[in-house]
Amino acid sequence: MNAQPYSGSARDPYHGGGSSSVMTTGNWFVTQLLLAIPIVGLILLFVWAFGENANVNKRNLSRAYLLLFLILIGVGLAISMLSALIAASGS
């Protein structure tokens, strides 16, 4: 088999071309600060989650946030429908 050994470089083709270097505390601070801006944060989540040049750590964080949002929206919809069903059957 002609598998190439892992080179250990900051750019790893197995991670979609994004940088796999360690993010510093300052990088994380700026990332969280940008995510706190309402519309900009949502747009950045999609860019980082599905973009090719995002840091691997930032991409995984963005995908986890988006998955959490989907789960919370689903739970919220389920609770809303259950509340409407209980309210409709009570009258």
Q: Where do the domains of the chain lie?
A: 23-90
Q: What is the pTM for the complete model shown?
A: 0.73
CA distance 5 to 33: 38
The pLDDT tens digits along the chain (91 residues) read: 566 655 555 555 455 667 788 899 999 999 999 999 999 999 999 999 999 899 999 999 999 999 999 999 999 999 999 999 999 997 6
**Residues in the chain, how many?**
91
Cα dihedral angle (11, 35, 69, 15), rounded to 10 degrees? 0
12: tokens are: 């790893």
pLDDT, position 90: 77
82: tokens are: 């259950």
